[in-house]
Amino acid sequence: MLHYAQEQLQGDYYTRAFQAGAQEDTLILNMGPQHPSTHGVLRIILELHGEYILRAEPVLGYVHRMQEKMGEVKTYPQYLPNMGRVDYLHALAWNWAYVLAVEELLQLEVPERAEYIRVITCELNRITSHLLWWGAYLLDLGAFTPIMYGFADRERAMDLLQIITGSRLTYCYYSFGGVTADLTPQFIDGTKEFCKYLRTRLPMYKDLVTDNMILRHRVDDIGIIPVDMARRYGVTGPNLRGSGVEHDLRRNTPYSIYDRFDFEIPAYEECDALARYLVRMDEMEESLSIIEQAIDSLPEGPVTPPKMPKVIKPPKGEAYGAVEGARGVIGIHVISDGTATPYRIKLRSPSFSNLSLFAEVSEGILLADAVSILGSLDLVIPEIDR
């Protein structure tokens, strides 16, 4: 079996192409596509000189599901559940970007209460995404205990989202013009309690992990992404803010009702893995603040438009919906030809841009540090392959 595997590796197109440019006395190593630290079927071909990386090349496509092509053969409502499968960790942000584009085509006005509900649930989903990243990142770096704390706290938020969405992961809760169901008293009371609870947990995370010198040695001054490099690759989200750029669509290009809330945009100028870590930890606190403000000012009223067409057939035209996801800017470009099926859908994935810089930033680093850098980027592989 080992001999067969070696033959398969030598005959692989990507490996042979990579070997053609290799230097003498170097090792070609495949990291993935089933490596634990890649968090999905991501493959990276590495050329190593001892423990140091000379070259790196991500190889994509192992989980390609033709998401954009499916948009051309499904009706507008039929395609909506696909959004929860693109980024399963922040599914509601993808829901939101898609319905924003279709609502623009339909000229639909979203009821105010539905806007508040979208903010509350999307920020709660952002927290669950960051908690999973936190636990999994530290597990990659060799710490087992934090993922137990992170997942236990994440379960509380998922229990709340399950009450109103019926799902625990791949949510399909937003609808064209609103949301599929109103908030329940159980959800509102539970969310208030969760916000108080998580505020007591975040200081423990800081004492246990953030201030731990073992973690600091694995992330401090590792994976430097200067601002110019981030902009060249189209990096957005916490990875861009970890390079000192205070850019967040919720503040810079406000959508929905985000301009009504008071919150900060965490940013650190160190440009390393630690800076990206600290941005996400601070973002959880800001999301809690947004949720509390939205619940306190939640208006009464309907959660769907009074008049909705039975068949969704936007007029000819095109629209672009963009939101700030847990990994960066999510963009969905929808082109309508006047039928019940989109003519074309193009998905802008933040993880694709964020991964693209890995080849450059990994040159000359230790192999162990590659794991730290990949984890600090917070990649979701199905979002990259689409």
CB 347 within 8 A of CB 332: yes
Reported residue count of the chain is 386
Last-in-domain residue among 59, 77, 107: 59
Coil, helix or strand at residue 8: helix
52 and 88 share a domain?
no
Q: Mark 222-246 as b/e (b = at least 16 C-beta within 10 Å).
A: bbebeeeebeebbbbbbbbbbbebe
Helix, strand, coil fractions of the chain, as percent rounded to 5: 50, 10, 35
49 and 105 share a domain?
no
Q: Mark 256-271 as b/e (b = at least 16 C-beta within 10 Å).
A: bebeebebebbbbeeb
For residue 173, what is the DSSP state?
-
Q: What is the CATH number of the domain that holds 301?
A: 1.10.645.10
25 and 171 share a domain?
no
CB 253 within 8 A of CB 322: yes
pLDDT on residue 18: 66
**How many angstroms separate the CA atoms of 322 and 320, rounded?**
7
Coil, helix or strand at residue 89: coil
Containing structural domain, residue 41: 2-59
13 and 113 share a domain?
no
Digitized pLDDT (tens) for each residue of the chain, 386 residues in all: 333 334 444 457 667 766 766 777 888 888 878 888 887 788 999 989 889 999 999 988 888 889 999 999 999 999 999 999 999 999 999 999 999 999 999 999 999 999 999 999 999 999 999 999 999 999 999 999 999 999 999 999 999 999 999 999 999 999 999 999 999 999 999 999 999 999 999 999 999 999 999 999 999 999 999 999 999 999 999 999 999 999 999 999 999 999 999 999 999 999 999 999 999 999 999 999 999 999 999 999 999 998 888 899 999 999 999 999 999 999 999 999 999 999 999 999 999 999 999 999 999 999 999 999 999 999 998 899 87
Side chain identity, residue 227 = V
Tokens 């609502």 appear where?
103
The pTM (predicted TM-score) of the whole model is 0.93
52 and 92 share a domain?
no
327 and 353 share a domain?
yes
Side chain identity, residue 250 = R
CB 67 within 8 A of CB 302: no
pLDDT on residue 17: 66
Task: Tally helices (H) and strands (E) across the chain.
Answer: 18, 8
99 and 206 share a domain?
yes
Q: What is the number of structural domains in the chain?
A: 2
The enclosing H or E element of 53 equals strand 52-59
52 and 77 share a domain?
no
DSSP assignment of 104-150 equals HHHTPPPPHHHHHHHHHHHHHHHHHHHHHHHHHHHHHTT--HHHHHH
DSSP assignment of 307-351 equals ---SS--PPSEEEEEEEEETTEEEEEEEEE-SSSS-SEEEEE-HH
